[in-house]
Amino acid sequence: MKKILTIARWEYIEKVRTKTFIISMFVTPAIILLFSLAPTWFSRNAEESTRAYGIIDSSGIFFRPLKSDLEEVMMKNGQPKFVIINLYNKDENFIMVKKTADADVLRNKLEGYILILNGGTDKTRVEFRSRGSGSFDDISKIEEIFNKVKNKFLLQNAGVDSSVISASMRYVTVNPIKIEKNGKESKADFITLFFTSFIFIMLLMMMILSTGNMLVRSLLEEKSNRLIEILVSSCTQKELLAGKVMALSGLGFTQIFIWTMLGLVSTGAALVPMNVFDNIMPMMFYFILGYVFYVSIFVGIGSVCSTEQEAQQITSYISIILTMPVIFSLTAIEYPGSLLVRILSYIPFTTASIMILRLKIETITMWEYFTTVGIMIVSIYVTIISSAKLFKIGILSYGKRPSVKELVRWIREK
């Protein structure tokens, strides 16, 4: 045990002092914050200018109400979002009007225009014509207001009372509420959910990659200069492995500790909403399980590499697996109970990240807790045993990279 501690202390101090570690400690959360805050910031700032859109409505029914309703939409700074111009003139040929409007858009005289075809009939069609695909936000606003105007027109024509019309026009939103066992309920806010779980998954991913990389690199150094031989003539391979894993876990905890502190500071500064810390304990637990699982994989695989190139190749494979949960996180938020998300919760490579995600968006049953944690513990046990075997042979083999068949033989060897 004393030797394990000696190794762990050495490895920890050696790595905690490295520039890579110090940089990743502060740069990682900075990058993640930037990525998560930048789009919101940009979209907020993009809103600062009023857009001028035209309308071509040959029926003449929708122009006025549409213009007045659209011009009532305000931006956060109190300025109107849209300025609406009439492009239709009944004395001109419709085709010509459209052609001129298109030319104006192309010549940048106009940002875009709304083309209403067959207005007042059952076959009404609306196009938003602009140089690009158009702002998603603007189009959905136009769509919402157009439908309101159209329905109002139809109801008025049918002789419905104006008070009934205005009551029917009132938009009712559906609020998602997450119910929990202890009677607690919380408002499920899509954006916050997405960002908090996303940040946690990204942190896990970055942490695994940075410490994993560090481990592989140091193993490679020890292998290439044969330090490993001195080490294994001073302690058992098991002690060496245990010391290294312990040091890495220590590094992981150091990072978590510092990140939590940074998180608390930024909550204090109202940069991060308080509900980020809901369910923090089980999330941390999955975080640690995921981290230990990947670190033990890195130890095994890292010990097999003998060149920098091989190491890079292998770490890039692992990063692909690690990014999977990030890719699936959108699906998971859109369809929390979907089969795919459920299946991914039981695959050890994705369990930790997917469960962190699910903890935020749905209530996890006790049964699911037990099975996923059980799967993780068994997987960690299996990877540690296999990695220890790979490590034992891998650290002393140089030159040609062993084939998968050989690796399997090493793992099976008693």
Partner 1 sequence: MLTAENLVKEYKDLRAVDNVSFNVLPGRIFGLLGPNGAGKTTTIRTILNIIRPTSGRVLFDGEPINENFFNIIGYLPEERGLYKKSKVIDVILYFAELKNMQKKDALHEADKWLKKLELKDYRHKKIEELSKGNQQKVQFITSIIHNPKLLVFDEPFSGFDPINQQIIREIITSFAADGKTIILCTHQMDTAEKLCADIFLINKGKEVCSGSLSSIKKMSGTNTVKIMFEGDGSFISSLPYVSKTEKTNSHLEVTLHEGMLPKDFLKEIMPLISITHFSVVEPTLDKIFIDSIRGNQ
- Least distance between partner 1 and beta carbon 15 (Å): 10
Q: Which of 18, 140, 186, 316 binds partner 1 (CB under 8 A)?
A: 18
CB nearer to partner 1: pick between 183 and 399: 399
Strand partners, 84: 53
Which one of the spans 13-21, 119-127, 181-189, 280-288 is the region binding partner 1 (CB under 8 A)?
13-21
- Least distance between partner 1 and beta carbon 41 (Å): 39
413, two tokens: 């060897």
Number of other residues whose CB lies within 10 A of the CB of residue 313: 12
CB nearer to partner 1: pick between 240 and 318: 240
CB nearer to partner 1: pick between 173 and 403: 403
Contacts of 244 (CB under 8 A, 6+ apart): 7, 8, 11, 215, 219, 299
CB nearer to partner 1: pick between 23 and 347: 23
Binders of partner 1 in range 168-197 (CB under 8 A): none
Which one of the spans 6-14, 51-59, 73-81, 159-167 is the region binding partner 1 (CB under 8 A)?
6-14
- Least distance between partner 1 and beta carbon 234 (Å): 4
How far is Cα 247 from Cα 299, in angstroms, rounded to an integer? 12
Does residue 334 interact with partner 1 by CB under 8 A? no
Does residue 403 interact with partner 1 by CB under 8 A? no
Does residue 324 interact with partner 1 by CB under 8 A? no
Q: Which residue has the tokens 């068994």?
A: 378
CB nearer to partner 1: pick between 17 and 107: 17
How far is Cα 273 from Cα 259, in angstroms, rounded to an integer? 15
Q: Which residue has the tokens 């998300």?
A: 341
- Least distance between partner 1 and beta carbon 6 (Å): 5
DSSP 3-state assignment of 283?
A: helix
339, two tokens: 């089969």
Identify whether the C-beta of residue 254 lies closer than 8 Å to the C-beta of residue 11.
no
Whole-angstrom CA distances from 69 to 115, 166, 335 are 17, 14, 34
Number of other residues whose CB lies within 10 A of the CB of residue 67: 19
Contacts of 264 (CB under 8 A, 6+ apart): none
How far is Cα 271 from Cα 260, in angstroms, rounded to an integer? 14
- Least distance between partner 1 and beta carbon 1 (Å): 12
Strand partners, 185: 179
CB nearer to partner 1: pick between 224 and 316: 224
Binders of partner 1 in range 193-252 (CB under 8 A): 221, 224-227, 229-236
CB nearer to partner 1: pick between 72 and 229: 229
Does residue 308 interact with partner 1 by CB under 8 A? no
How many residues touch partner 1 under the rule CB under 8 A: the total is 22
DSSP 3-state assignment of 133?
A: coil
- Cα 53 to the center of its chain, rounded Å: 34
Does residue 20 interact with partner 1 by CB under 8 A? no
- Least distance between partner 1 and beta carbon 10 (Å): 5
CB nearer to partner 1: pick between 221 and 334: 221
- Least distance between partner 1 and beta carbon 405 (Å): 11
- Least distance between partner 1 and beta carbon 230 (Å): 6
Q: Which residue has the tokens 């459209």?
A: 98
Q: Which residue has the tokens 């312990």?
A: 246
Q: Which of 139, 373, 396, 411 binds partner 1 (CB under 8 A)?
A: 396
DSSP 3-state assignment of 50?
A: coil
Using CB under 8 A, list all residues that contact partner 1: 2-3, 6-7, 10, 14, 17-18, 221, 224-227, 229-236, 396
